[in-house]
Amino acid sequence: MNAGLKKTSVLLGIMALVAAAGFFITWIVGQRNGSFAREGQEKSFRVVTSFYPMYIAAMNIIGDADGVELSNLTENQGGCLHDYQLTAADMKKLEGADVLIINGGGMETFLEQIQKAYPGLAIVNASAGLEKEGENPHYWMDPKKYKKQLAAMEAGLSSLDRAHKDGYEENRRVYEAQVDKVEKEMLSVIEGIPGEKAVLFHDAFYYLAQCLGIEIAYSIELEDDTSLNTGEIAEIVDQAKAGGVRLLFTEKQFSESIPLGISRETGADICVVDTLVSGAMEKDAYIKGMEKNIEEICRCLKALKEQA
């Protein structure tokens, strides 16, 4: 073999290797996108929800629909979504998804980023009909508004996956009846209770307080207990004292050190409520969480009644 021929065969060998590697990479990408794996199989309908409250709602509407896969985009991170930064792993979960269900109302600040990366992805906004009602996106905390979110979710899913339309409708009805029960329980709480004033430590409690006829004297968007300085705490104490506030609504997920300090200064009772932004990935998580909230609010109101 002369030197020129040797060089040519080495070059051909390298080219063959490059071509094989290229094919292999294409095959892996294909596998990941499901284009090979799904051949000859029935394609599944992949639903992704933006965060926990939407995931629990979607779980109830989808039920055991055949071939429908549900996953949640963001980790059960303990707090609300506000200003949440998507991770690379979060973004990857949207690969091959058919629809993303969002809470809406500005809760998903990362929506534009998703739409840029996945321009073909269908978006169902659960709050489409509610956004005009105000700036506060914590709609799920009001059973009445939550039911509107369920209806929007059902309509969105049904329009994209017509095969399961009847099932989605039936599941939504069954779940709505459970939410109705929670709503009635909430209404019975306020019967015979004179109006109270409260400081809210997360404006997620706004709708809950509104449902219960509790006047909001001051509302803080507190995401962790280090976000208030001493001046701000003093201002809350002053406002609470001046407004005759006897209730502090604090969040289960956050530390109690600041509310405890304010409670000591003002004599107001602490009512620890769950905003239902994290918890068990179970169908009845919202219903159970709301029932616990009602129990806690009843306990607080009863204590206030005894004080008076």
Chain residues that interact with Zn ion, rule: CB under 5 A:
80, 204
| Minimum distance of Zn ion from residue 38's CB (angstroms) | 38
| Minimum distance of Zn ion from residue 284's CB (angstroms) | 23
The nearer residue to Zn ion, 80 or 101, going by C-beta atoms, is: 80
The nearer residue to Zn ion, 26 or 109, going by C-beta atoms, is: 109
- Please name which of 130, 131, 99, 126 lies closest in space to residue 114, comparing C-alpha atoms: 99
Return the sign of the alpha-carbon dihedral for residues 119, 120, 126, 128. Answer: positive
Phi and psi dihedrals of 281, rounded to 5?
-85, 60
| Minimum distance of Zn ion from residue 204's CB (angstroms) | 4
| Minimum distance of Zn ion from residue 63's CB (angstroms) | 28
Question: Could you give the CA distance from residue 148 to residue 285 in angstroms, rounded to a whole number?
Answer: 18
Beta strand 99-102 pairing with 269-273: unpaired
Question: Could you give the CA distance from residue 155 to residue 24 in angstroms, rounded to a whole number?
Answer: 42
The nearer residue to Zn ion, 103 or 171, going by C-beta atoms, is: 103
| Minimum distance of Zn ion from residue 138's CB (angstroms) | 6
The nearer residue to Zn ion, 60 or 136, going by C-beta atoms, is: 136
| Minimum distance of Zn ion from residue 34's CB (angstroms) | 35
The nearer residue to Zn ion, 80 or 245, going by C-beta atoms, is: 80
The nearer residue to Zn ion, 180 or 232, going by C-beta atoms, is: 232
In single-letter form, the type of residue at position 85 comes to: Q
| Minimum distance of Zn ion from residue 210's CB (angstroms) | 15
Beta strands, E only, 189-243: 197-200, 215-219
Task: Report residue 252 CA to chain centroid gap.
Answer: 16
Tokens 């009772």 belong to 269
The nearer residue to Zn ion, 49 or 266, going by C-beta atoms, is: 49
Phi and psi dihedrals of 191, rounded to 5?
-60, 125
| Minimum distance of Zn ion from residue 70's CB (angstroms) | 23
Question: Could you give the CA distance from residue 138 to residue 107 in angstroms, rounded to a whole number?
Answer: 8
Q: Which two tokens stand for residue 38?
A: 């799904």
The nearer residue to Zn ion, 126 or 157, going by C-beta atoms, is: 126
In single-letter form, the type of residue at position 116 comes to: K
In single-letter form, the type of residue at position 32 comes to: R
Quick check: 294 and 185 in contact, CB under 8 A? yes
Question: Could you give the CA distance from residue 132 to residue 124 in angstroms, rounded to a whole number?
Answer: 17
**Nearest residue to the partner Zn ion, using Cβ:** 80
